[in-house]
Amino acid sequence: MTTLGDAWAWLGDPAHWAGEDGIGHRLAQHLVLTVVCLLLSCLVALPVALVLGHLGKGGALAVNLSNAGRAVPTFAVLVLLLLTPVGRWEQGPTVVALVLFAVPPLLTNAYVGMRGVDRGVVQAARGMGMTGWQLLWRVEAPLALPLIMSGVRVAAVQLVATATLAALAGGGGLGRIITAGFNLASTPQVVAGAVLVAAFALVVEGLFEAAERLAPGRARRRGRAR
């Protein structure tokens, strides 16, 4: 228990909150990285998934991408990117890796959601004379919303984890507190950093959970594909 006490004392020290390497700055970095990359990944993945799901094409791609995303180690991708020209821009490897690992769950869930829309509803909408775009926007996308949102949730949690790992490859964010702790052989700092990261991840997951409960009934999740 003394380690936890030491970690708590480390967190309580105002000197550790200020400055470039302080908790405040790292927390802000982590938040900005997560939010910006989540938006970027949604911009990349969702249009593709919605169109593919609407056309019913590329299902194998959407599903296999998710499996591939699991098999490729995040850490390896971060280091590979660091050694390529992308590494010259400080946050380059982090941003690219974050987007790469957030896209598969977004794409797979949105695609599965679009394909899962009741075919009878789709045919009824066609019978009412809806064009392809109207069908996509007004019928399929709203009905697929629960699964799309659960994809966003999985992606967000994945982003927080990847942003933490980025610290190993010189990126910013809360993970830097942990890696600095390892370099200083300071167990209290390592544990304090880990507690911050874990709390951050759980808050993100909690926010999505709360949003889901507050959402109107039809937007709620019925199942999750990963």
Partner 1 sequence: MTPPDDCLARNEWICGTYLSTRRHILLDAVLQHLELTAVSVLTALAVALPLALVARRWRLAAGPVLGLTTVLYTIPSLAMFSLLLPVYGLSASLVVAGLVLYSLTLLVRNILAGLRAVPEETRQAARGMGYGPFRLLLAVELPLALPAAMAGLRIATVSAVSLVTVGAIVGFGGLGNLIYAGMNTYFKAQVLTASVLCVVIAVAADVLLLGVQRLLTPWTRAARA
Binding site for partner 1 (CB under 8 A): 3-4, 67, 70-77, 79-80, 82-83, 157, 160-161, 164-165, 167-169, 175, 178-179, 181-182, 187, 190-191, 193-195, 197-198, 201-202, 205
Strand, coil or helix: 130: coil
To partner 1, the closest distance from the beta carbon of 211 in angstroms equals 16
Write phi, then psi, for 72 (nearest 5 degrees): -90, 120
State which residue, 108 or 164, has the beta carbon closest to partner 1: 164
Query: CA–CA separation, 142 vs 80, rounded Å?
Result: 39
- CA distances (Å), 224 to each of 109, 147, 199, in order? 7, 6, 24
Rounded (10°) CA dihedral 17, 161, 200, 219:
150
User: Given the complex with partner 1, which of 73 and 132 has the nearer CB atom?
Assistant: 73
Structure tokens belonging to residue 224: 């999750």
CB of 196 to partner 1, least distance (A): 8
Q: Cα torsion at 152, 158, 163, 165 (round to 10°)?
A: -170
Minimum CB–partner distance for residue 114 and partner 1 (Å) = 23
Backbone φ and ψ of 188, nearest 5°:
-55, -40
Least distance (Å) from partner 1 to the CB of residue 55? Answer: 28
Hey, what are 156's tokens?
């967000």
Instruction: Kindly tell me which of 41 and 158 has the beta carbon lying closer to partner 1.
Output: 158
**Nearest residue (CB) to partner 1, 1 versus 15:** 1
* Closest separation in Å from C-beta 129 to partner 1: 41
Task: Please say which residue, 35 or 83, places its beta carbon nearer to partner 1.
Answer: 83
